[in-house]
Structure 1
Amino acid sequence: MKKLVAGIALISLIAGVSVNNVSAEEYEVEKGDSLWKIAQEFDTTINEIIEINDLEETVIFPEQKLQIYEEYEVRKGDTLYGIGKKYDVSVDELMEWNELSSDLIVIGQVLSIVTTSDEAEIRAASTVSEDGVASNVEPEGKTISVSATAYTAECDGCSGITYTGINLNENRNAKVIAVDPSVIPLGTEVYVEGYGYAIAGDIGSAIKGNRIDIHLPTKKEALEWGVRTVNVTIMNE
């Protein structure tokens, strides 16, 4: 698992300055990154990155700063066992995440905390505006023409969980499309004509080649969408 350096803030404690005991590690978005890709690289979840950064959309941009893991700053009386109980993780996990050779910790030491998907299920963030356009920035990337159908998590026997783990029942307004990964890579941010910014977060047995399936909140909306030929811009390409 890729790690960032966790520092030790002893000076603040010695000086008696009050510090927040929870912070987060920072990552600078690079060209070609997606929330899915970053979550996989850092062994975390899309949901965790969204929640830590208070994101209202799944589209990210180069040089954007994202917080990755929660961190815990060790206080007087803390032990790895006690911290593990607080976050429902084991001592061994804390030692592995922080590359510790023993269970000895010191006041002011910053420990990475990787929240599991059991504690916070993966979800997709809805976009800001009604048509799904998250900002006034023109979509940039490779544009292809596709045949677009629609689906919904509101159906009997549907789990509502996408192939990449996004919980559509938790957020019915999530902008997610099913794709053929050989055409549009999973986790890619896209702009779909008539739908808005979305994330390629699902697949389907009938979704092959230049075809997509967009997620809509209700059966009525999915039926109204029907089948359309639209342009899709694959961001960062």
Structure 2
Amino acid sequence: MKIKVGIILALLMTCFTAPLAEASIWENFEMTFGEYTLKDYLEEWTESQNSSDENEKTDDTYTVVEGDNLYRIALNHAIPLFALKEWNELTEDLIHPGDVLIINGEELVEALTTTPKESIAASPASETEKSVPAPKAAVPPAKASGKEMMVTATAYTAYCKGCSGTTAYGIDLRANPNQKVIAVDPRVIPLGSKVWVEGYGEALAADTGGAIKGNKIDVFIPSHSNAMEWGVKTVKLRVLN
């Protein structure tokens, strides 16, 4: 607010030249310049300061009116919704007309929205992560329990004469050429059994065959040439489950 030079001069004259014995300070303030007195100025200035303080307080709060919701209030005042709820200790979004909400908490906003920066050093890969395990050799599991037997093993493919490509257990060998499957006599080795076959590895007893009787098995090999190379073998078989 601009202060007139005349008022300043009058104030100085009042403070330093007016006899205190003859009049009080407020009486000296009654010196006028036209219709505007120093007392008027001081009262006006005090009122403006009080009004400013009230406005500042008002800026820090908001009174809820009909139709308000927390999201709209946060949006209108450019503050995060979570911060608005935090300042007012709200655990839900329900508010009522007449509620007074704190809408100014700059320090809290900064504290809540600032994420400490952490330097994350890339740790070198361990020797275990770097190393690729070598393929398991076709040896029986060390602690496997189950019956063990010697069997005669032949080989077949998914495209052999009279073969549908789908096992008795429902596995499509043409669609899954890498599946380890053997044909068994279910009376000796139940279908669904997991087995280990010497020279072939772990496999699933998932097929049968008219010529597969007793201690005889047929191992599935995708390639016809490899199946022929297998030939007929007497191998050790262990049932794993």
Greater helix fraction, Structure 1 or Structure 2: 2
Task: Name which one, 1 or 2, has greater alpha-carbon Rg.
Answer: 2
Give the number of the structure with larger relative contact order, counting CA–CA contacts within 8 Å between residues 6 or more apart.
1
Pairwise TM-score range, normalised by the shorter structure? 0.3 to 0.5
What TM-score comes out, normalization by structure 1 length? 0.42
Greater strand fraction, Structure 1 or Structure 2: 1
